[in-house]
Amino acid sequence: MADTPRPNEIEPEKEPEKPIECSGECRRPIAVHYSEITGQTIVVTGMCEECPVLKRKLHGMHTQIKGASSLAETDLACGNCGTSLESIKVGSLLGCSSCYDIFDETIVAELQGAGKLPTRLTSVKKPLPLHFGRSPGEVKEITPSIRLLALNEALNETLKKEDYEQAALLRDQIQALTRDDEKPKNGEKKNND
Amino acid sequence: MTSDKSHPYLNQNKPWIDNDNAIWIASTIHLSRNIEKYKFPGKLEADRQKQIVSVLGKELMAAPHLSKPRLFHSDQITPAQKQFLMEHFLSTQGFQQAHSGEAFVLSEAGDFLAVFNVNDHLSLCIIDSRGELEQTWNRLVEIETTIGKAVNYAYSPRFGFMTADPAISGTGLVVSIYLQISGLIHLDRIDEVLDKLNDESIYVSGMQGNPTEVIGDILVVQNNYTQGVTEENIFSGLRSFASKLLMEENSARKEIKQQENNEIKDRVSRAFGILIHSYHIEAVEALNAISLLKLGQSLGWISGISCKDLNQLFFNCRRAHLLAQFKETIPQEQILHKRSEYIHSALKEVKLMI
């Protein structure tokens, strides 16, 4: 076991790794293999279609900057941890909770751009909450009845398709769930037996 | 709170050894938290990292619902053991960058992992292979609440729980359901079914997080949003989506069996041939073939092996799990051959009934 495996792999010799700025961040599929030859070494990097690192390498870092306000924006950094606006735009992790205050609008825009905000929230302005879940210490148990609702929904769809054999299996599971003493596994066991 | 390189917690089969699930293989629940007023791990000073490991480690050792937890510092774990953890917890995030200042807590039951100072100060993960997603979540909340009595989590009313990656801020909750939908994939019907079930709140990908690469016919169904939704919304949306996909897979398998589908019989037969006759085999090829064998087993075309044994073979064919099967050190160039040998041994009683 002397070899050192790389992260996020089942088998080596797969896709090249993403740029360091994007590693662990970018979930988009690799669309470009960017090879950089320096002397005798060739470094191959995997990049997505919209990779900001790729754009920077192809077009240069400051070609997009047109006016003084843009320049000021690129210089913006968190006073607590030093994380810059530019690093957030290339997908780097945030450095501290103050970053959320300082880069509020950019973070929301990035979440929207990545499809990580429900459509109904796209126009929520500061200081309205984006968060609808638990707050610290709040005890809010989730009951297994959610499973019952999901099975009922699946049952309705099965009946629409007139698959009565499948419907009977689903009905069995619903009945078993409504009896406290019987709990089938995963909602699949009876289907696959 | 001592560490040990050869500790059984870093090389254990539980809870996978008892997994006899045919389609809904398992689920994982991840919860990420940071501590108020401390910079996130990427910007955190070494002495602060140690403080976090010390405080969180102490609280987790005493947390309820954890069987005999143990703390391991990252510099005391080998790269192969880190990859074993990644595979065991079906994580798409590697732990190889954890060299010092990071730590892990594992439990005896093999279903719980806490990671300190990798991306976030605290990342909790639980594996559920019994279909008790909601109960497992309630257990995780109890652990999180216990720790929250000792430290204040980084939280704002607008963004919720603040994480280093804003894409998981809010609830900080990522739930993944692993479904082996070989029937739909080999009937070439999966795209049509996913289009029909289309739901913007669900993210579907392969085991390694890539939406275009499906390995071993396993689809990972995950919540796409952590903002703008409650934890209950996340669980009910996933339950509903996964139940419908499961139902479609059952229908597909029924159809394959009724129609005596020759194309799929051929694929299962070839997969069996590859597995028992290969001299070298890559993990991805092995996982794809084992999935077909599992499909054949569920349709009565394969005898001499149970679904549970096939699941175990599937999980143990991955690199770090395979290496953990052998007492001796396996040189890099022999891994593919050792995988073949391991598969031959596991399938020696298997017969093709087609």
pLDDT 10s digits, B196-247: 999 999 999 999 888 889 999 999 999 999 999 999 999 999 999 999 999 9
Instruction: Verify whether the Cβ–Cβ distance B231 to A10 is below 8 Å.
Output: no
Handedness of CA B150, B155, B161, B166 (dihedral sign): negative
pLDDT 10s digits, B121-151: 999 999 999 888 999 999 999 999 999 999 9
Q: From the list A126, A131, A186, which residue is nearest B21 (CB)?
A: A186
Contact B292, B325 (CB under 8 A): no
Q: From the list B42, B134, B205, which residue is nearest A95 (CB)?
A: B42
Q: From the list A9, A131, A192, which residue is nearest B170 (CB)?
A: A131
- Judged against a pLDDT cut of 50, whether residue A32 lies above it is answered with yes
Instruction: Verify whether the Cβ–Cβ distance B159 to A100 is below 8 Å.
Output: yes
- The whole-chain average pLDDT of chain A stands at 74
The DSSP annotation for B137-194 comes to: HHHHHHHHHHHHTTS-B-EETTTEE--SSGGGTBT-EEEEEEEE-HHHHHTT-HHHHH
* Chain B residue closest in CA terms to A122: B228
Q: Which of B119, B117, B139 is nearest to B128 (CA)?
A: B139
CA A114, CA B167: separation in Å to the nearest integer?
8
Helices B133-148, B46-61: crossing angle, 10 deg rounding: 120
- Judged against a pLDDT cut of 50, whether residue B253 lies above it is answered with yes
Contact A26, A48 (CB under 8 A): yes
Tell me, what's the ipTM?
Answer: 0.89
Contacts of B228 in chain A (CB under 8 A): 117-118, 120-121, 130-132
Q: Which residue has the tokens 């169904």?
A: B221
Instruction: Verify whether the Cβ–Cβ distance A188 to B23 is below 8 Å.
Output: yes
* Chain A residue closest in CA terms to B33: A136
Encoded tokens for A38: 């320096």
Instruction: Verify whether the Cβ–Cβ distance A10 to B173 is below 8 Å.
Output: no
- Judged against a pLDDT cut of 90, whether residue A106 lies above it is answered with yes
Cα A169–Cα B300–Cα B27 angle in degrees, nearest 5: 55
Res A7: pLDDT: 42
Q: Which is higher by pLDDT, A85 or A48?
A: A85
Encoded tokens for B70: 């143990």
Encoded tokens for A91: 């997908």
Contacts 24+ apart (CB under 8 A), B201-205: B201/A118, B201/B225, B201/B229, B201/B233, B201/B237, B202/B237, B202/B238, B202/B241, B205/A27
Q: Is B56 exposed, middle or buried (0-12, 13-18, 19+ CB in 10 A)?
A: buried
- The whole-chain average pLDDT of chain B stands at 93
Q: What is the pTM of this model?
A: 0.83
Res B59: pLDDT: 94
CA B56, CA A116: separation in Å to the nearest integer?
30
Average pLDDT estimate for B301-317: 97
Q: Which of B84, B160, B148 is nearest to B121 (CA)?
A: B148
Res A183: pLDDT: 47
- The 3-class SS string of B13-71 reads CCCHHHCCCCCEEEEEEEEEECECCCCCHHHCCHHHHHHHHHHHHHHHHCCCCCCCCEE
Q: Which of B150, B168, B148, B149 is nearest to B159 (CA)?
A: B168
Q: Which residue has the tokens 């709990």?
A: A183
Write the DSSP symbol of residue A36.
Answer: E
Encoded tokens for B268: 């299962």
Q: Which of B350, B266, B264, B259 is nearest to B313 (CA)?
A: B350
- Judged against a pLDDT cut of 90, whether residue B93 lies above it is answered with no
CA B326, CA B324: separation in Å to the nearest integer?
5
Res A6: pLDDT: 44
**pLDDT band for position B263 (cuts 50, 70, 90):** very high
3-class SS of residue A158: helix
Mutant choice from A90, A112, A192, A193 vs B, greatest count of B C-beta within 10 A: A192
Contacts of A10 in chain B (CB under 8 A): 87, 207-208, 215, 283-284, 287, 318-319
Q: From the list A94, A135, A143, which residue is nearest B134 (CB)?
A: A143
* Separation in Å, CA of B175 to nearest CA in chain A: 14
CA A185, CA A182: separation in Å to the nearest integer?
10
